[in-house]
Amino acid sequence: MPIVTHIALFPLSIPLKAPFVTSLGALDAVESVIVRVTTEDGLTGWGECNPFWSINGETQETCLAVGKHIARALVGHDATDIEGLHARMDRLIFANNSIKGAFDIACHDIAAQAAGLPLHRYLGGTKDRSLITDYTVSLGTKERMAADAQAIIDNGFQVIKVKLGGTPQADIERILAIRGAIGGKIPLRIDANQGWSPEQAILVLNALGDANIQHCEEPIPRWQFMELGRVKEASPIPIMADESCCDHHDADRLIQLGACQRFNIKLGKSGGLFKAKKIIALAEQAGMEVQIGGFLESRLAWTAAAHLALTSEAVLFCDMDTPLMFTMDPVVGGITYHAGGRVEVPRTAGLGASIDPTHLASAIHVC
C-alpha cells in the first residue's frame, strides 16, 4: 500500500512564443503549479495544473495556497485510493478543481506505477488508435488569422481550431477569410469562449453552416446554460459545452436539458481524471461525443489527458496543442508530437512524465 509521506508544490512559469488570445483576454506566459507526491515505498507521482483565472477562478497563487491545505490532508493517505482522495479534498474545500486535478494526476501516476501499467491501461483503456490534435488560431484580425491558419496547414496539421467571440459580423468575416486562404477541405473547430448572446450565436452559426465546421465550443455565457438547448436546436453546427461543463454534475444537468451534442473535458475543470471519467461514462450512456482539451498545461498534464483519451471510443476529438506554443519544454518523458498532429503516449508504467528539476523553483510547501 503506497502511503503518501511527502508532498512538494512548485510554481512553473514559461513565456509563450506569441500571445494566446481568446474572447476572455490575452496571455503571454504560462503560470502553472507542479505537484510531486512521494510514498513510503519510494514511488513518486507528478501532477500539474494551469489555473485559468476567467474560467475556473483560480490563479497560481491560490493553487499554491489551497494546495498547502490539501497536502496536509493527504499525508498518510493511500495514494491508490483515488475515490478516498477526492472525498478528502472535497470535504476540505469546495471547488478549486484546478489544484485538485494536479493532486489527482499525481496519485493516479503512483497508482498506475504500483500496478505496473501505463496510465491508460490502468484507467481501463487500450492503445489501439491514434490521437490527432488540432492547432489553434488565436483571436485577431481576419488577415492575421488567415495567415496563421495557412501556417498551420503548412506545418502539416489536419484540423484547425479557431478562437472567435467578437462581433457576429467580424467573426463571420474571420472564418470566410480563413476559408479563402486555406480552402474548404481542412475541417475547422470554432470556440467563442462565451462571447456571443444566444441570438448572436444563432446568427453566426447559421451563416457558417456550410463552412465545414465540426463543432462550436461554448457559444454563449456559461450562466445561460438554460438557453444552450435553444442555440443547439437552431444551429446547423453541433454545440460543444466547455465552460458550462466542469464536472460530472454539470454534464448530467446538460444531458437532462438536451443542451448540447458534445462535451469538452479538461482535467483543470473536472478536478482530475477520476471525475473526468465520470463525464465520459455519462456521455457514453447518452450517445454523445467528447473532446479532450485543456488550458496551457505543459506536456506533463497533457500526458495525463492523452492517456484519458485512450479510454473510450466516445473521445473523437483532441485539442492538445498548447505545449507546442511554449518557448521551452520542462518535461522529461511524456507525450510526443508527430507529423499530422499525431500524439503518442509513453509506454512506461504510470504517467510516464516528470519535470526536469532544473526548471523548478524552490518548493513552496513541503509536507
Catalytic residue among 142, 161, 163, 232: 163
Tens digit of each residue's pLDDT (9 = 90 or more) over 48-105 = 999 999 999 999 999 999 999 999 999 999 999 999 999 999 999 999 999 999 999 9
- Across 172-180, average pLDDT: 98
Catalytic residue among 100, 142, 266, 277: 266
Catalytic residue among 48, 217, 319, 321: 217
Is residue 163 part of the annotated active site? The answer reads: yes
User: What confidence score (pLDDT) does residue 361 get?
Assistant: 75
Q: What is the pTM of this model?
A: 0.97
DSSP letter (8 states) at residue 223 = G
Is residue 319 part of the annotated active site? The answer reads: no
CB 123 within 8 A of CB 107: no
User: What confidence score (pLDDT) does residue 363 get?
Assistant: 66
Is residue 250 part of the annotated active site? The answer reads: no
- Binned at pLDDT 50, 70 and 90, residue 160 comes out as very high
Tens digit of each residue's pLDDT (9 = 90 or more) over 321-356 = 999 999 999 999 999 999 999 999 999 999 999 999
User: What confidence score (pLDDT) does residue 123 get?
Assistant: 98
The full set of domain ranges for the chain reads: 4-116+357-366, 121-354
User: What gap in Å lies between CA 44 and CA 38, rounded to an integer?
Assistant: 4
Tens digit of each residue's pLDDT (9 = 90 or more) over 47-56 = 999 999 999 9
Catalytic residue among 48, 191, 250, 289: 191
Query: Would you list the DSSP string of 281-346?
Result: HHHHHHT-EEEE--SS--HHHHHHHHHHHTT-TTEEEE---GGGGBSS--EEE--EE-GGGEEE--
Angle formed by the axes of helices 82-92 and 60-74, to 10°?
Answer: 120
Tens digit of each residue's pLDDT (9 = 90 or more) over 264-296 = 999 999 999 999 999 999 999 999 999 999 999
Catalytic residue among 242, 250, 297, 321: 242
Pick the CATH number of 121-354 from 3.20.20.120, 3.40.50.150, 3.40.50.170, 3.20.20.80: 3.20.20.120
What CATH number labels 4-116+357-366?
3.30.390.10
CB 357 within 8 A of CB 124: no
Instruction: Tell the burial category of 170 from Cβ atoms under 10 Å away from its Cβ (0-12, 13-18, 19+).
Output: middle
